[in-house]
Structure 1
Amino acid sequence: MALDYFAPGVYVEEVDRGSRPIEGVSLSVAGFIGFTEDVRGDAELFKPIMITNWSQYLEYFGKEGSDGFTDFNAYLPFAVQGWFLNGGGRCWVISIGTKLPGTPAPSEEEIATKLKSSGGKPSISLNLKLPEADGDTPALPASTERITVVIEDSTPKPLPEDAPEDAEPPLNTGEYFKLKVRQGNRVLEEYEHLSMNPEVATAEGDYVVTMLEASEYITVADISSSGQFLSRRPSNGNYEVAPPPYIAPPERLNRDITGSRDERQGMQGLLEIDEVAMFAFPDLMKAYETGLINLEQVHGVMEMMLSLCENSFPGPPYRMAVLDAPPVKPSKSFDPVLPERQKPQDVAQWLSAFNRRSMFGALYYPWIKVANPRNQGLPIYVPPCGHMMGIWCRTDQNRGVFKAPANDTPRGVLGLAYETNMREQELLNPIGINCIRNFANYNRGYLVWGARTLVDPTNIQWRYISVRRLMSYIEKSIEIGTQWVVFEPNDSDLWGRVSRVVSNFLERLWREGALFGASPAEAFFVKCDASINTNETIMMGRLYIEIGVSPVRPAEFVIFRISQWAPNQ
């Protein structure tokens, strides 16, 4: 608004008097940590990368042409696939390695990129030429960008300038090829007139193995067996040369899991991404099964997961960790098809030993049976966390964050590690263990039959996942949607505008069925007036708004009271 007017005329001024609606935030973005088959493309080890579908996961964490799963049955790929199968959308994934810590390093032949001829027979193999390192551990290349080898057509060497005029050029048999070493868009090296013939005349070409000995980046081995040199020539194309896998010593595993907030690595780096509202670490169970960590260390990681969810200063905490119950005991001969079943009393005793309660955690039991593409589709038991978070996301989309993510079918589940009955669930449900049950007797299949947090059982107001997430949704939405209020004049006009904006947001939630009450007045209240904003608080630059909401709660126990009735005659 102009402060002074000097010349006569008509002045048009734009005045912002309208309220700014609060838009609800998304609490449907998940985070995953674990082992992957590979780390390719834009993905980096220990750093989170956004994934929007399974094909994108394969692009970043699967080898070329692979199914994306691992030979040692890491649980992360199953969890991410279960997330997408059950309706999950955007998620963030962190790879903490492509081999289990302490695994023997693979030989050069095992990790070599093998090129084939046009007839599909072996031709040459490629390996990265790495700098020397101390000990037996290979040094990793300085750059995370992969080396790519390009094979193209070539010709024999041209005649030298001093050749006789009647000299005939070498015959182009088609066996010659060009090899380029690229990194991104840069051509690092280029070799022409290459042949698979070890005795090729130097005036006509160069044997590929001999010529590539001078390369600073790759080594080449001839793996062709027999046949003419033309039929042994590698096919044209682009071939990615993968570096050796990162294999950490077992004592470093906990450090890799924790990561660094400043470097955006590991679990701490994952929670630096504001949109991640739920996360899981399925391969914590793989580390425990294989004896890399003991049960006390498992408890330490779970404690850290819950503590990170509870601490999100300066805003309100809004994240939840989905935990998995460990198997009865670790075993290096653990059978993924028929594991030692953990009975209800076992998981109840384990939770009592863990002895950590939080409204920002959830636990599901038992493990689920899914198809293992790496083993011809045979079943494997995996932790349920990824599938359950997918159901959370699906429920958010179909009904809303206020609907309990239960009484729903988990997709991709072939069976359960233990079929809990009602009497056994009476032991687990009161202590916050959500059961996945088989209702075959009712022809309803497998259903998620629990919706509780891991809060202290006596703290009834935060008992349900839907209530905790609805309150987080309201708090985070209001926090982000009222940033415009900061530094506005702190007067009754601002109080009215803030009250109006928040009331409109809560009324919208009430109309959607998220708040309990026959009218908005019964469902919520918003107070922002002189009774709580005194002269002293205004002098300190503070604006107080009190909000009360009545969230809907799930009908966990449905009780029909039936009696015989005889009407008066």
Structure 2
Amino acid sequence: MAYKTPGVYILEKDAFPNSVVEVATAVPAFIGHTEKADNKGTTLNRKAWRITSMTEFIDYFGGPPAARFNLTEVDLKDAGDDDVVVPDPANPTGPRKAYRMSQDSGAYLLYYSMQLFFQNGGGPCYVVSVGGYGDAIEADPIVAGLDVLRKEQEPTMVVVPDAMLLKGTEDSAGATAIKVQQAVLQHCGEVMKNRFAILDVYDGWRDRKDPAGDPIAQFRDALGVNNLHFGAAYYPWVDTTIVPETALSFLNLNDKGLLKTLLTADMKLDPANAPADAIPRKGFDEKVTAVNNLDAAWEIDGERYKNEGEVAKGQLDLHQLLAKFSPLYASLMGRLARRLNRLPPAAAMAGVYTSVDNGRGVWKAPANVSLNSVIAPVVSVSHAEQEDLNVTTSGKSINAIRAFIGSGVLVWGARTLDGNSLDWRYVNVRRTMIMLEESLRLAMAAYVFEPNTANTWVTVKGMASNFLTGIWKRGGLAGASPSDAFSVFCGLGETMTGEDILEGRMNMTILVALSRPAEFIEITFQQQMQKS
């Protein structure tokens, strides 16, 4: 400053560098189909919308899909655990019959996945609705949802539960789902470079020895090798308590005629079985009436049902009556609930990531943590069976979800898909580095076009060192002292040449010692000579 008038002048000089603000680490983005996508008349379709609770999700995106199932007769010898085996209605003393439930409509996973996310510690997140419940689930709209997320800075994870419902090809059941997952990995590792993909295994409810093929082998063979350290996969799917049996009824079954036939046989409602005495006959007639009401026109007719509330009450009363009198009906409802509660685990893992990040920090491996609202993994994975999941020559590690006596259902793996990489083997290492890089990148934007001189170099080195010291104190970096945990270099002759400065480049090199989980703990026992 040039002084021309005599006097006293006060100058303030900054003593400290700018601070680095640690970016959020656990803000997942979910892509899928919803009942609606509306904000008070403004469409949210194919827009990234931030929510913080399940209540907000319902307000903006609606409720669960109306699941409808068909009952199809199958050969008795092919009947599985999910199938219903009953006496032949036409010949009760003859061979039994088996019926398989197949979902006809309402097969969408996002709503239930959001519930699983929030019940496992989830918080703020983004939702991209790419279609309604009447739309077919296709790969292209889901992939287009990734383009929507390019404009958002906050999301740090990507989850696409509806990809598990994509139809496969003649060559591979999960080929279309893999196409979407490859796009997610590319979005995280090449396009944005600051996000992490949490993936499910297609048909992950199947055992690895299933006659239809090994879902793990199919997943690994089709996934490719690109951007593997920007994602993790979890197996198997889990049986949850998200959908209560009380939310289901005969309305979820399409063929009311077949249902009436089965229930008539189950409750022995043939007119020939009608009791002669008045009191037993009254109960018999009540059951017959209930079964006949299965295909009633549940409409507001101005006489019996005057509003939607009365219709709902009539349906509930009938459902409760059938559940009370028919073991077969109760069994059907239980199987419906089991089918709808069989969910891929990625959304639950997004909640676990959020919970662990908030409680311990992003540098803590999201493993050895129990899952809420989960009864059991669909497939039991033993210690020996996990060996190939965790360590494989292909490097595509799959994290197991296992049940332990006394501990419940635990996440028992913390590896990225790039399991053979010593740099990026662990989920917490990859995600910690993303946090450090993004935090410093945003802070350094303030120094773009500043003089590329020693004063600026000292300032940015101090800024980075202060930030990393704070991370070290919280346990995010390994080392007995800050100097052991990180090093920051920036300067002429150190990270830059004179030509770099002429070209307008300021190079900074940061070395960090990231903490890695103790994945294998070995205790050695050896006998020693008696000393006294």
Q: TM-score, normalised by structure 2?
A: 0.70
Structure with the greater alpha carbon radius of gyration: 1
**Equivalent residue of 2:161, what SS?**
coil
Q: Are 1:312 and 2:191 counterparts?
A: yes
Q: Show the counterpart of 1:169.
A: none
**Equivalent residue of 1:257, what SS?**
helix
Contact 2:464 2:488 in 1 (8 A): yes
**Equivalent residue of 2:496, what SS?**
coil
In the alignment, the residues of structure 2 paired with residue 515 and residue 567 of structure 1 have an alpha-carbon distance, to the nearest angstrom, of 43
Q: Show the counterpart of 2:436.
A: 474
The amino acid of 2:376's aligned partner reads: G
Q: Show the counterpart of 1:512.
A: 474
Contact 1:343 1:418 in 2 (8 A): no
**Equivalent residue of 1:89, what SS?**
coil
Contact 1:61 1:68 in 2 (8 A): no
In the alignment, the residues of structure 1 paired with residue 43 and residue 355 of structure 2 have an alpha-carbon distance, to the nearest angstrom, of 27
**Equivalent residue of 1:461, what SS?**
coil
Q: Show the counterpart of 1:376.
A: 246
1:103-502 equivalences under 5 Å are: 253-259=138-144, 266-288=145-167, 295-312=174-191, 317-327=193-203, 341=207, 346-357=214-225, 358-373=228-243, 375-376=245-246, 378-379=337-338, 380-430=341-391, 431-440=396-405, 443-455=406-418, 457-502=419-464
Contact 1:453 1:465 in 2 (8 A): yes
Q: Show the counterpart of 2:484.
A: 522
1:530–1:372 CA distance, 2 compared to 1 (3 A): closer
Contact 1:327 1:342 in 2 (8 A): no
In the alignment, the residues of structure 2 paired with residue 372 and residue 517 of structure 1 have an alpha-carbon distance, to the nearest angstrom, of 43
Q: Show the counterpart of 1:551.
A: 514
**CA RMSD of superposed structures (Å):** 2.2
- Shift of residue 437 of structure 1? 0.4
Deviations 1:525-554 (A, max 9, x none): 111122122222111111111110110100
The amino acid of 2:6's aligned partner reads: P
In the alignment, the residues of structure 1 paired with residue 196 and residue 492 of structure 2 have an alpha-carbon distance, to the nearest angstrom, of 37
Contact 2:156 2:194 in 1 (8 A): yes
- Shift of residue 568 of structure 1? 4.5
The amino acid of 2:403's aligned partner reads: N
| Aligned equivalent of 1:30, options 16, 24, 28 | 28
- Shift of residue 372 of structure 1? 4.6
- Shift of residue 458 of structure 1? 2.8
The amino acid of 1:308's aligned partner reads: H
**Equivalent residue of 1:414, what SS?**
strand
Contact 2:36 2:132 in 1 (8 A): yes
In the alignment, the residues of structure 1 paired with residue 455 and residue 519 of structure 2 have an alpha-carbon distance, to the nearest angstrom, of 44
Q: TM-score, normalised by structure 1?
A: 0.65
| Aligned equivalent of 2:128, options 79, 94, 99 | 94
In the alignment, the residues of structure 2 paired with residue 271 and residue 27 of structure 1 have an alpha-carbon distance, to the nearest angstrom, of 17
In the alignment, the residues of structure 1 paired with residue 426 and residue 401 of structure 2 have an alpha-carbon distance, to the nearest angstrom, of 16
In the alignment, the residues of structure 1 paired with residue 158 and residue 471 of structure 2 have an alpha-carbon distance, to the nearest angstrom, of 26
**Equivalent residue of 1:275, what SS?**
coil
- Shift of residue 512 of structure 1? 1.0
Q: Show the counterpart of 2:108.
A: 74
Percentage of pairs with the same residue: 34
**Equivalent residue of 2:139, what SS?**
helix
Q: Which runs of 5+ in 1 are unaligned?
A: 103-249, 260-265, 329-338
Contact 2:120 2:351 in 1 (8 A): yes
- Shift of residue 348 of structure 1? 2.7
Moved more, 401-410 or 516-525: 516-525
**Equivalent residue of 1:303, what SS?**
helix
Contact 1:31 1:278 in 2 (8 A): yes
- Shift of residue 4 of structure 1? 1.9
Deviations 1:119-172 (A, max 9, x none): xxxxxxxxxxxxxxxxxxxxxxxxxxxxxxxxxxxxxxxxxxxxxxxxxxxxxx
1:43–1:101 CA distance, 2 compared to 1 (3 A): closer
In the alignment, the residues of structure 1 paired with residue 163 and residue 432 of structure 2 have an alpha-carbon distance, to the nearest angstrom, of 28
Contact 1:22 1:502 in 2 (8 A): yes
Contact 1:88 1:394 in 2 (8 A): yes
Deviations 1:304-328 (A, max 9, x none): 1111111236xxx120111111117
Contact 2:116 2:373 in 1 (8 A): yes
The amino acid of 2:388's aligned partner reads: L
**Equivalent residue of 1:438, what SS?**
strand
- Shift of residue 69 of structure 1? 4.3
- Shift of residue 54 of structure 1? 0.6
In the alignment, the residues of structure 1 paired with residue 46 and residue 209 of structure 2 have an alpha-carbon distance, to the nearest angstrom, of 35
**Equivalent residue of 2:214, what SS?**
helix
| Aligned equivalent of 1:14, options 12, 20, 43 | 12
- Shift of residue 424 of structure 1? 0.6
1:548–1:340 CA distance, 2 compared to 1 (3 A): closer
Q: Which runs of 5+ in 2 are unaligned?
A: 68-105, 248-336
Structure (1/2) with the larger helix percentage: 2
The amino acid of 1:492's aligned partner reads: A
Q: Show the counterpart of 2:307.
A: none
Moved more, 89-98 or 69-78: 69-78
Contact 1:37 1:70 in 2 (8 A): no
In the alignment, the residues of structure 2 paired with residue 310 and residue 26 of structure 1 have an alpha-carbon distance, to the nearest angstrom, of 18
1:289–1:85 CA distance, 2 compared to 1 (3 A): farther
In the alignment, the residues of structure 1 paired with residue 219 and residue 187 of structure 2 have an alpha-carbon distance, to the nearest angstrom, of 19
- Shift of residue 295 of structure 1? 2.7
List structure 1 runs of 4+ shifted beyond 4 angstroms.
Answer: 339-345
Q: Are 1:560 and 2:523 counterparts?
A: yes
Contact 2:207 2:214 in 1 (8 A): no
In the alignment, the residues of structure 2 paired with residue 255 and residue 347 of structure 1 have an alpha-carbon distance, to the nearest angstrom, of 23
| Aligned equivalent of 1:40, options 11, 32, 38 | 38
1:499–1:343 CA distance, 2 compared to 1 (3 A): farther
Deviations 1:462-492 (A, max 9, x none): 1000000111111111101122211111111
Deviations 1:63-90 (A, max 9, x none): xxxx544431411011111111111111
Contact 1:78 1:386 in 2 (8 A): no
In the alignment, the residues of structure 1 paired with residue 479 and residue 4 of structure 2 have an alpha-carbon distance, to the nearest angstrom, of 57
Contact 1:82 1:386 in 2 (8 A): yes
- Shift of residue 355 of structure 1? 3.9
**Equivalent residue of 2:384, what SS?**
helix
**Equivalent residue of 1:448, what SS?**
strand
In the alignment, the residues of structure 1 paired with residue 479 and residue 163 of structure 2 have an alpha-carbon distance, to the nearest angstrom, of 43
Contact 2:168 2:175 in 1 (8 A): no
**Equivalent residue of 2:141, what SS?**
helix
- Shift of residue 341 of structure 1? 4.6
1:372–1:50 CA distance, 2 compared to 1 (3 A): same
